[in-house]
């Protein structure tokens, strides 16, 4: 019999992850602040719960997929939280991206109750969540990693046990440094080339085949060329992660000058009301500065590139 799983947090990432677990035959109990996502999962066979406490009181394994450290801490330790419904022997998998120091604090509070915590943040965006191909970075004891593996195998393709609790979170934050800087570099480079008269579609094709090629370029080029920045991962959320990186880096004594600079670029985007765009939308800031759009299709590149209206 498959483990009975509680899933808390049915947002852009959490909802498709929960759907994949249902498809794989897991019995799910779900909770979310917005009722719409809960109702959608109930139609697929899940059971609704009114609080994290209610989730914890009826499952073997609990998964959280929430926006930030305070959200996870509140759900785990707050009023009507997991702690109030916890039972000895439960496994708590936090798959959110939060401060690893907070993960370690939550684990210490749950340990006397017999609840074991694993931090297992993911990378791969909405597409990876839908397709079940996420990269999952896991921190926790080896035996707890093995116990969680049947669940991880449904949700991800690259699953790595990074070390003790917190190692997953630190690895995910490292991932977010690379992605933020990469997307920023891609945006700057494509605007540079477009302003100089180069066709951005051809430029992307050429760059993708060389050392500058990356998954960011592969997965985000279509959004950039079509100008469709509907979020797979919002600028707001990546800005949150950059703040977490700043906090975590300070806690371990590591300077992060490049990530700090990119954090300020993302802050500027949010001030301009673009926090809801996909994080590849960082290119729009460079378009503003250069007075040109990386135009798509027939308008791409060259002297016909559309000038951004001031």
Specify the pTM: 0.88
Residue 307 in tokens: 């000038």
Spatial separation of the C-alpha atoms in residues 194 and 177, rounded to whole Å: 26
Domains of the chain listed by start with CATH number: 4-164 (3.40.50.720), 170-299 (1.10.1040.10)
The predicted structure's pLDDT at residue 3: 83
In this structure, the dihedral spanned by the alpha carbons of residues 65, 71, 74 and 77, taken in order and rounded to 10 degrees, is 40
Spatial separation of the C-alpha atoms in residues 195 and 293, rounded to whole Å: 8
Look at the block and give the residue holding tokens 């991932």.
175
Do residues 262 and 180 make contact, with C-beta atoms less than 8 angstroms apart?
Answer: yes
Mean confidence (pLDDT) of the chain? 93
Spatial separation of the C-alpha atoms in residues 66 and 70, rounded to whole Å: 9
DSSP string computed for the chain: -PPEEEEE--STTHHHHHHHHHHTT-EEEEE-SSHHHHHHHHHTT-EE-SSHHHHHTT-SEEEE--SSHHHHHHHHHSTTSHHHH--TT-EEEE-S---HHHHHHHHHHHGGGT-EEEE--EESHHHHHHHT-EEEEEES-HHHHHHHHHHHHHHEEEEEEEESTTHHHHHHHHHHHHHHHHHHHHHHHHHHHHHTT--HHHHHHHHHTSTT--HHHHHHHHHHHHT----SSBHHHHHHHHHHHHHHHHHHT---HHHHHHHHHHHHHHHTT-TTSBGGGGHHHHHHHHT-----GGG-SSTTSPPPP-
Spatial separation of the C-alpha atoms in residues 209 and 288, rounded to whole Å: 28
Per-residue pLDDT of the chain (310 residues; tens, 9 = 90+): 578 999 999 999 999 999 999 999 999 999 999 899 999 999 999 999 999 999 999 999 999 999 999 999 999 999 999 999 999 999 999 999 999 999 999 999 999 999 999 999 999 989 999 999 999 999 999 999 999 999 999 999 999 999 999 999 999 999 999 999 999 999 999 999 999 999 999 999 999 999 999 999 999 999 999 999 999 899 999 999 999 999 999 999 999 999 999 999 999 999 999 999 999 999 999 999 999 999 764 444 433 334 333 3
Q: Give bridge partners of residue 158 from the DSSP assignment.
A: 135
The predicted structure's pLDDT at residue 296: 60
The predicted structure's pLDDT at residue 301: 40
Spatial separation of the C-alpha atoms in residues 190 and 287, rounded to whole Å: 9
Show which residues are catalytic.
172
The predicted structure's pLDDT at residue 125: 87
């Amino acid at each position: 019999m498959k483990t009975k799983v509680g899933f808390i947090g049915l947002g852009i990432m959490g909802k498709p992850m929960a759907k994949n677990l249902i498809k794989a035959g897991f019995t799910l109990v779900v909770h979310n602040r917005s009722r719409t996502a809960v109702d959608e999962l109930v139609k697929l066979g899940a059971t609704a719960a009114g609080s994290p406490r209610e989730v914890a009181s009826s499952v073997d394994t609990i998964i959280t997929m929430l926006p930030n450290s305070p959200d996870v801490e509140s759900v785990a330790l707050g009023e009507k939280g997991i702690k109030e419904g916890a039972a000895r022997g439960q496994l708590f998998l936090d798959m959110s991206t939060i401060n690893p120091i907070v993960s370690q604090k939550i684990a210490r509070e749950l340990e006397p109750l017999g609840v074991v915590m694993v931090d297992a943040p993911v990378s791969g965006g909405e597409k990876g969540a839908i397709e079940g191909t996420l990269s999952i970075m896991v921190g926790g004891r080896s035996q707890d990693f093995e116990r969680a593996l049947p669940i991880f195998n449904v949700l991800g393709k690259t699953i790595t046990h990074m070390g003790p609790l917190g190692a997953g979170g630190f690895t995910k934050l490292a991932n977010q440094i690379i992605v933020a800087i990469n997307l920023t570099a891609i945006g700057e480079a494509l605007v540079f080339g477009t302003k100089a008269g180069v066709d951005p579609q051809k430029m992307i094709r050429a760059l993708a085949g060389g050392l500058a090629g990356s998954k960011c370029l592969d997965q985000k080029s279509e959004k950039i060329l079509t100008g469709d920045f509907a979020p797979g991962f919002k600028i707001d959320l990546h800005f949150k992660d950059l703040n977490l990186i700043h906090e975590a880096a300070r806690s371990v004594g590591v300077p992060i000058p490049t990530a700090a600079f990119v954090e300020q670029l993302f802050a500027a985007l949010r001030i301009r009301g673009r926090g809801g765009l996909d994080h590849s939308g960082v290119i729009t800031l460079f378009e503003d500065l250069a007075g040109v759009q990386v135009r798509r299709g027939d308008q791409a590149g060259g002297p016909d590139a559309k000038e951004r209206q001031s």
